[in-house]
Amino acid sequence: MLRTPKAPPSVRSGRDGPAIQARGLGMRYGDREVLCGIDLEVPHGMVVGFLGPNGAGKTTTVEILEGYRRRTAGEASVLGMDPAGGGPELRERIGIVLQETGHNPELTVRETVRQFTGYYRRPRPVDEVIGLVGLQEAAGRRVRALSGGQRRRLDVGLALVGDPELVFLDEPTTGFDPAARRQAWEVIAGLRELGKTVLLTTHYMDEAQALADRVAIIADGRIVAEGTPAQLAAAQHATRIRFSLPAGAGSADLPRVAGQVAVRGRTVELSTDDPTLDLLALCGWAAGRGAALGGLTVTRPSLEDIYLTLTSDKEVAA
Amino acid sequence: MNPLVLAARESGNVLRSFWRNRSAAFFTILLPVMFLVLFGAINRDGTVQLAPGGPQIGYTTFFAPGMLAMAIMAGTFVALVIGLTVMRDNGQLKRLRGTPLPPWAFFSGQVVSRLVLVVVEAVLVLGLGRLLFKVSLPPTVAGWATFALVALLGAATFTALGVAFTRLVANADSAPALANAAYLPLLFLSGAWFPISGLPHWLASVAGDFPLAPMLDGLRQALIFGHGLGTIWPDIWKLLAWLAVGLLVALRTFRWERAA
């Protein structure tokens, strides 16, 4: 289903520097500052996930980079061009999938794609685009008869018509059922195989985890964390151990451990950087009392937890 | 991409989806024809005077250009106000803005496709009017040329005004009401349906300043009397002025995205 790109992106982009580079990006509407110095770098050929709660400034940032909005501060370079003045030259080389977009309901999928091939200098063949997003079966159907998931794939297809080097995807799966979500993910994963650079906006951590090479988290107009999903997880390394106090034991009876202990009712929660030693101590202690650690769980924080911690801190600060 | 090819393709797309949306096609194309047949049949032998003291002319000969003017305004102004605000609200315009398609190509597509529809409508109205009611056709070549010029200039004017008007429309839901609030009163006050010699003078003169009245007058003068540009130049100037206003406002204020 996926074809190799006609030319490696390096040939066309003259890749000095990353596909997207933003420094100190600021946006102010009157007195309201919605972006306060965003630094963002998207290297060529990477899928970067851009995460944050609603109203954090995700869409504003992306729309500045797409050329829809003019920043009020900072520097931005997209494929070596200033997006504020890039014009058709830039739009020839990027593909944009907006959050929600209507279609002309009376045209068929194939006609819609063909219409968009007329807008670009070097379009992909119509049937190739339709194949890329898996709409072969629906190619002859009117857009009004498509399911929500199919329309979203058509959105992605239309963004690929110009064979762009860089694709912006703004919340591509919001409101999808799990099956449609999986299908959309496959299409997005296919973009990487085509050698595209992708900036993916989402508020689903699992989506970023499944698709992105790097993740940047934005909250309240600032980037609060940035790195590979593994780096983000490692940055907050406390492992959580949870169990119920054995019968007859009080919190004062617990053995000495390296981590921090919190007891709520009969539930003990231990947050530790050295789970092996602490578990050894706890298990030895319980075995010594002839009891078991009821409901024992050991969890690493998920990216979801990290995301929630980072973004809720910011909300409190604001 | 060749600009002409691009504009032609855009208008092809507009026309294709126009014909597929049956209710819109009906409203634009068939409604005026239906009215022509209906009112023509009711009032087959009636006569009217364009102005007090003027010659008596057949009612259907008076009415046919009225229906053509109605079709022109519905097919350009009303259709654009509704169509463009829908496209603006659901993000289609924003998506187009994100492609290299130049805005002028998009708008040329809108204009050219509407002009094609005006030609179709004119042929239908005049053809049926002639066939069923012996509506008079321009008696001179100059009359034909003037008739065509006024119809196309009027269509261009109402296209520009339709695009400009979208700025006043907050969202697609209110577009039909607002478009009709401009369209229906103008139709009556400008004399598309009945002679307006009975209107209070001030009201007629206010209505006469809007672009529908000069278009109607130009069409009728050319169709009925074969008058050329020499006679109807005030109409042409009024239309040109409105065209300029429409273009200026459209270019300056058009929004590609719905208001946040």
Planar angle of CA A189, A195, A196, nearest 5 degrees: 75
Q: Would you say A121 and A89 are in contact if contact means Cβ atoms under 8 Å apart?
A: no
Q: What share of chain A is helix, strand, coil (3-state, %, to 5)?
A: 35, 25, 35
- Least Cα distance to B211 among B254, B244, B251 occurs for B244
Tens digits of residue pLDDT in A115-146: 999 999 999 999 999 998 889 999 999 999 99
Quick check: pTM over 0.90? no
- Beta strand residue intervals within chain A, DSSP E: 20-29, 32-42, 47-51, 73-78, 94-97, 166-170, 197-202, 214-219, 222-227, 239-244, 260-264, 267-272, 294-299
Q: What is the pLDDT of residues B183-194, one digit of tens each?
A: 999 998 898 888
Cβ contacts of B5 on chain A, cutoff 8 Å = 118
| Encoded tokens for A164 | 């762009």
**Nearest residue to B158 (alpha-carbon basis) of B186, B137, B138, B177:** B186
Q: Dig out the tokens for A83 from the structure.
A: 């997006």
Digit-coded pLDDT (tens) for B30-84: 888 999 999 988 888 888 887 777 788 888 889 999 999 999 999 899 989 999 9
B19, B86, B99, B258, best to mutate vs chain A, most A CBs in 10 Å = B99
Answer yes or no: are the C-beta atoms of B118 and B151 closer than 8 Å: yes
Say if the Cβ atoms of A107 and B17 lie within 8 Å: yes
- Which residues in chain A are closer than 8 Å to B23, comparing Cβ atoms? none
For chain B, what are the domain ranges?
Answer: 3-253
Amino acid, res. A165? E
To test the contact with chain B by mutation, choose from A29, A89, A104, A152 the residue with the greatest count of B C-beta atoms within 10 A, namely A104
A6 or B159: which leads in pLDDT: B159
List the structure tokens of B258. 């719905």
Q: What is the mean pLDDT of residues A239-267?
A: 84
Q: Taking 50 as the threshold, does the pLDDT of residue A317 lie above it? A: no
Mean pLDDT confidence for B237-247? 95
The nearest alpha carbon in chain A to B4 belongs to A118
Task: Kindly state the average pLDDT of the residues A98-126.
Answer: 92
**Are B100 and A120 a contacting pair at CB < 8 A?**
yes
Domains contained in chain A, CATH given: 9-234 (3.40.50.300), 237-300 (3.30.70)
Using CA coordinates, name the residue in chain B closest to A168: B98
Place of tokens 């500045």: A64
Say how far residue A148 (Cα) sits from the centre of its chain. Answer: 21
Kindly list the distances between the CA atom of residue A197 and the CA atoms of A45, A184, A186, A201, B177, in Å, as whole numbers in the listed order.
4, 17, 16, 13, 45
Of A18-32, A286-300, B51-65, which has the strongest mean pLDDT? A18-32
Which residues in chain A are closer than 8 Å to B2, comparing Cβ atoms?
none
Distance between A73 CA and the closest CA of chain B, angstroms: 21
Contact (CB, 8 A) for A38 and A44:
no
pLDDT-derived band of residue A15, with 50, 70 and 90 as boundaries?
low
Identify the closest residue of chain A to B17 by CA–CA distance.
A106
| Closest Cα in chain B, distance from residue A183 (Å) | 23
Contacts of B6 in chain A (CB under 8 A): 118
Interface test with B, best of A115, A124, A156 (most B CBs within 10 A): A115
Distance from CA of A224 to the nearest CA of B (A): 26
In the numeric block, which tokens belong to residue A116? 């968009």
Mean residue pLDDT across chain B: 89
